[in-house]
Amino acid sequence: SQTIHQWPATLVQPVGSPLSLECTVEGTSNPNLYWYRQAAGRGLQLLFYSVGIGQISSEVPQNLSASRPQDRQFILSSKKLLLSDSGFYLCAWSKGQGSYNEQFFGPGTRLTVL
């Protein structure tokens, strides 16, 4: 069966510090990978998605970047965090080949920027 991991689970960082969040998927090959951000009381906003190693698409201009160094690894980064980067960050995966976009989410990382 497939599992998705995210770490760290929680993170408190000062404004201006760098960020690196990691997501890994097990039990599948060539998945599509996604990063979403969930602000308090709001829905999920797609930040990045990737259909393969080194292939990143960005949905919104922002202070963040993403990378996919390995097939089942997705990293979310920032060089200098802003207060507005606080939120709940979720990684998701879907099958690389399929008839519809069924996505499965990881446990999330709670980021607080102070």
Partner 1 sequence: QQQVKQSPQSLIVQKGGISIINCAYENTAFDYFPWYQQFPGKGPALLIAIRPDVSEKKEGRFTISFNKSAKQFSLHIMDSQPGDSATYFCAASTPMYSGGGADGLTFGKGTHLIIQP
Chain positions contacting partner 1, by CB under 8 A: 6, 30, 32, 34, 36, 41-46, 49, 51, 59, 90, 92, 94, 96-108, 110
What minimum distance in Å lies between the beta carbon of 109 and partner 1? 10
| Residue among 12 and 15 whose Cβ is closer to partner 1 | 12
Q: Which two tokens stand for residue 45?
A: 């906003």
- Least Å distance, CB 64 to partner 1, is 15
- The 10 Å Cβ neighbour count of residue 61 is 6
Minimum CB distance to partner 1 smaller for 26 or for 80: 26
- Supply the minimum distance, in Å, between the C-beta of residue 85 and partner 1: 19
For residues 24 and 10, give the distance between their C-alpha atoms in angstroms, rounded to a whole number: 16
**19 vs 90, beta carbon nearer partner 1:** 90
Alpha-carbon distance values, 48 to 23, 29, 66 (Å) = 13, 19, 7
Give Cβ neighbours of residue 100 (< 8 Å, ≥ 6 apart).
Answer: none
